[in-house]
Chain A
Amino acid sequence: MVTKTITVSTRLGLHARPAAMFVQEASRFKSKIVVCKEGVEVNGKSVMGIMLLAAEHGARVTLTATGPDEAEALKALERLFQRKFDEE
């Protein structure tokens, strides 16, 4: 299990489009992905789950990956945040 806490830096938070990108990326990996915000945990491969997190700009979310490819998964997802989900 690997964990990383990240600050959401996209302008409008994890809304539909970034949520979709996140789920697409997460779904590439075998590992189980859990996203947690303020104690609420959702399945990282469920777009509804991510949207329901309502992670706004500046929110702190914790990503947890568990499985055979957990390290790569976490790294890939982290990169998405760094790229600001290709916004602008």
Chain B
Amino acid sequence: MIVIKGVAASPGISIGKAYVLEDEEIVINRIEIDRDKLRAEVKRFKAALKATHRDLDVAEAKVLRVLGKKHAKLIDAHRLILRDSLITHDVPQRIVKEGVNAEFALSESLEAVNKQFEKMEDEFFRERRHDLFDVGKRLISHLLKQTRRSLADISENCILIARNLLPSDTIGLQETKILGFATDLGGKTSHTAILAQTMEIPAVVGLSDVSHRVKTGETVILDGEQGLVIINPGPETLDKYHHAQHKALEEEKALTSLKGLPTMTLDSKVFEFHANLDTPDEFKALLNLQADGIGLFRTEFLFFNRATPPSEEEQAKAYSAVVKAFAPRPVVIRTADLGGDRLVQLGIDAPKNEVNPFMGLRGIRLFMRHLDLFKTQLRAILRASAKGNVRILIPMVSSVGEVHSVRRLINLALAELHAEGVETAEKIELGAMIEIPSAAIMLDAFLPMLDFISIGTNDLIQYVLAVDRLNEHVSHLYDPFHPALVRLMDHIVQTARKKGRWVSVCGEMASDWQAIPLLVGMGVDSLSVTPRMFFRVKQAIRSLRYDAMAKLVGQALSCAESEEIKRLLRDQAGGPPDRAT
């Protein structure tokens, strides 16, 4: 039994078999292929063979030029290995007979030969197997290139273990039966954490080397409460966790009894309580939560996994479905926060591989350079506005000029649509994400042009503290309770309140029940949380007094260290609302 301590990123407990996603290395998984697709699989294998032959031609030319004819003969050997019946005959046979993917069939065939090699006494000959592996590796890399490693193929219930999960890894993951994530990298607000919370599965991140210590198939306990990963647990530990799992389920059930109750403090301050929406197919689950609205509808998904940007029609349809379902409740649609890499994938000329994409061309900055894309999205949102209560939210705003431009563009799009006879809502509220310090500090200058603001805590924390939360060396400095942040947040909320603007918090901080007393005490109007945390946060709000929390914020504003603020929060009456450890 090995216990590794990391950062609890998404609550809950999972017990299951590990599935290790090795980073950059080749992982061969056994995937069963449907009978009617076996021929296609053999064909795929043959295509990879052809591609590998082409590789060898290229390699041969190079070797001839650099090392001479004798060395080029080695390429001949590799070519013969490719033509060997072990490869050309055994592998297709294995694919068909065992009904498995080509990669797996190949690796099994290679392994069988390897075993024979290993038996050789002569070390020189034993080492010749590397020629075989060299060829095998080329072949497999061609096979993998064609399939692209897709986690969506994982069929068994498993706990996904990886060095780091990238957004591209996790597309389509929602439909799979993954029980939880454990990663070497990442912090409480990394992509993995947010995804896990959305999927309502536990996650532990920042485990430094878990991906090397666990092997696929080993039993793992994922403790998303205490941030632990337990590899090969003993029977007693297993028992304990089974019990805890059961208890958590009971508690979860109890929490849903909060459904439909107002989100109100003990002294009757009511909050608009919203949920975040990442893809439109999740909106039915949100309807079921009986949220007061959608406080953050992320639209990036529309731009993923495709070669051309989505049309106005397609976007309007996606937005309308959600807006209609939630009407008359508000749906805050955030215009896409894309980076240059994404546009390149969509076939648009844009900067690629920026050194620091967090501070690069993204969000509104990118759309200001690609006004056609922006206008298409605005038009689609405006069209959806006829179906209910739509608000537009602009990400990455850092200057007043940007808001002016957006306003002008919206007015232009509205005039166009009306001229075309397209119906829109009469008035559409415009808001800005407050996530860049300049906008936070200068908020009073922005407010005359805005109807509301939404605080994006994840980025705000990053930018205020100069901490890349994906960088394991500094992720520990990422701290929502840093006094600088608490002061800035309070400044934002009070400035907006003074001007009568609606303030929402939609970042991870709103989903962190430990931070709720601060947000309640600052007097925000609305919180938008990740669906998984919906009832927990609701319960937290319902167990607090607004007047007491306002006082607590007053004390927090004079703290010099985050530890003091955390202590204040711990000491506040009643303590944390649910099972704290």
Partner of B86, one of A16, A20, A24, A48: A48
Interface pair B84/A48, CB less than 8 Å apart = yes
Chain A interface residue count, CB cutoff 8 Å, equals: 19
Specify which chain B residues have a CB less than 8 angstroms from the CB of A46 in the assembled complex. Answer: 84-86
Interface pair B124/A17, CB less than 8 Å apart = no
Partner of B81, one of A24, A43, A48: A48
Q: Which of B67-93 contact A (CB under 8 A)?
A: 70, 73-74, 76-77, 79-81, 83-86
Render A41-59 as a binary contact track against B, CB cut-off 8 A, 1 for contact. 0010011110110101000
Q: Which of B97-133 contact A (CB under 8 A)?
A: 113, 116-117, 120, 122, 124-126, 128, 131-132
**How many angstroms between the C-alpha atoms of A48 and B120 in the bound complex?**
14
**How many angstroms between the C-alpha atoms of A52 and B117 in the bound complex?**
6
Interface pair B116/A52, CB less than 8 Å apart = yes
Partner of A47, one of B84, B116, B124, B126: B84
Majority SS of interface residues in chain B?
Answer: helix
Partner of A16, one of B116, B126, B131: B131
With an 8 A cutoff between CB atoms, is A19 at the interface? Answer: yes
Interface pair B84/A16, CB less than 8 Å apart = no
Render A5-20 as a binary contact track against B, CB cut-off 8 A, 1 for contact. 0000000110111011
**How many angstroms between the C-alpha atoms of A20 and B124 in the bound complex?**
16
CB contact under 8 A between A48 and B124, given known A17-B73, A21-B73, A24-B80: no
With an 8 A cutoff between CB atoms, is A23 at the interface? Answer: yes
Partner of B74, one of A17, A48, A56: A17
**How many angstroms between the C-alpha atoms of A48 and B84 in the bound complex?**
7
Interface pair A20/B125, CB less than 8 Å apart = no
Interface centre among A12, A13, A21, A48 (most CB of B within 10 A): A48
**How many angstroms between the C-alpha atoms of A16 and B116 in the bound complex?**
16
Specify which chain A residues have a CB less than 8 angstroms from the CB of B80 in the assembled complex. Answer: 19-20, 23-24, 47
CB contact under 8 A between A15 and B125, given known A24-B80, A47-B84, A48-B132: yes
**How many angstroms between the C-alpha atoms of A51 and B113 in the bound complex?**
10
Chain B interface residue count, CB cutoff 8 Å, equals: 23
**How many angstroms between the C-alpha atoms of A17 and B73 in the bound complex?**
6
Interface pair A15/B128, CB less than 8 Å apart = yes
B86: nearest chain-A partner, CB-CB: A48
Interface pair B77/A19, CB less than 8 Å apart = yes
Interface pair A56/B124, CB less than 8 Å apart = yes
Specify which chain A residues have a CB less than 8 angstroms from the CB of B81 in the assembled complex. Answer: 47-48
**How many angstroms between the C-alpha atoms of A66 and B323 in the bound complex?**
78
Interface centre among B74, B85, B125 (most CB of A within 10 A): B125
**How many angstroms between the C-alpha atoms of A48 and B81 in the bound complex?**
6
**How many angstroms between the C-alpha atoms of A36 and B77 in the bound complex?**
20
A88: nearest chain-B partner, CB-CB: B70
Specify which chain B residues have a CB less than 8 angstroms from the CB of A17 in the assembled complex. Answer: 70, 73-74, 76-77
A56: nearest chain-B partner, CB-CB: B122
**Min CB gap A57→B, angstroms:** 10
**Min CB gap B514→A, angstroms:** 61
Interface pair B124/A13, CB less than 8 Å apart = yes
Partner of A13, one of B76, B77, B79, B125: B125
Interface pair B117/A20, CB less than 8 Å apart = no
CB contact under 8 A between A48 and B76, given known A15-B125, A54-B125, A56-B125: no
**How many angstroms between the C-alpha atoms of A51 and B116 in the bound complex?**
11
Specify which chain A residues have a CB less than 8 angstroms from the CB of B124 in the assembled complex. Answer: 12-13, 15, 56
**Min CB gap A47→B, angstroms:** 4
**How many angstroms between the C-alpha atoms of A46 and B77 in the bound complex?**
10
B87: nearest chain-A partner, CB-CB: A48
Interface pair B77/A20, CB less than 8 Å apart = yes
Specify which chain A residues have a CB less than 8 angstroms from the CB of B116 in the assembled complex. Answer: 52
Render B333-365 as a binary contact track against A, CB cut-off 8 A, 1 for contact. 000000000000000000000000000000000
Interface pair B113/A16, CB less than 8 Å apart = no
**How many angstroms between the C-alpha atoms of A84 and B76 in the bound complex?**
17
B130: nearest chain-A partner, CB-CB: A16
Specify which chain A residues have a CB less than 8 angstroms from the CB of B122 in the assembled complex. Answer: 13, 54, 56
**How many angstroms between the C-alpha atoms of A36 and B313 in the bound complex?**
71
**How many angstroms between the C-alpha atoms of A12 and B81 in the bound complex?**
19
**How many angstroms between the C-alpha atoms of A13 and B74 in the bound complex?**
15
**How many angstroms between the C-alpha atoms of A16 and B74 in the bound complex?**
7
Partner of A43, one of B76, B85, B132: B85
**How many angstroms between the C-alpha atoms of A20 and B76 in the bound complex?**
6
Interface pair A54/B120, CB less than 8 Å apart = yes
Specify which chain B residues have a CB less than 8 angstroms from the CB of A13 in the assembled complex. Answer: 122, 124-125
**Min CB gap B59→A, angstroms:** 14
A17: nearest chain-B partner, CB-CB: B73
Q: Which of A35-87 contact B (CB under 8 A)?
A: 43, 46-49, 51-52, 54, 56
Render B124-155 as a binary contact track against A, CB cut-off 8 A, 1 for contact. 11101001100000000000000000000000
B113: nearest chain-A partner, CB-CB: A48
**Min CB gap B137→A, angstroms:** 16
Partner of A51, one of B73, B74, B128: B128
Interface centre among B80, B84, B116, B125 (most CB of A within 10 A): B80
Interface pair B84/A20, CB less than 8 Å apart = no
Partner of B125, one of A21, A48, A49, A51: A51
**Min CB gap B327→A, angstroms:** 68
Interface centre among A23, A43, A51, A54 (most CB of B within 10 A): A51
**How many angstroms between the C-alpha atoms of A31 and B166 in the bound complex?**
55
CB<8 Å pairs between A and B, sample of 30: A12-B124, A13-B122, A15-B124, A15-B125, A16-B74, A16-B128, A17-B70, A17-B73, A17-B74, A19-B80, A20-B73, A20-B74, A20-B79, A21-B73, A24-B76, A24-B80, A43-B85, A46-B84, A46-B85, A46-B86, A47-B81, A47-B84, A48-B86, A51-B131, A52-B113, A52-B117, A54-B120, A54-B122, A54-B126, A56-B122
Q: 6 tightest CB-CB pairs across the interface, nearest first?
A: A20-B77, A47-B80, A54-B125, A16-B77, A20-B76, A17-B73
Other contacts beyond A17-B74, A51-B132: 14, CB < 8 A: A13-B124, A20-B80, A21-B73, A24-B76, A24-B80, A46-B86, A48-B81, A48-B86, A49-B84, A51-B128, A52-B117, A54-B120, A54-B125, A54-B126
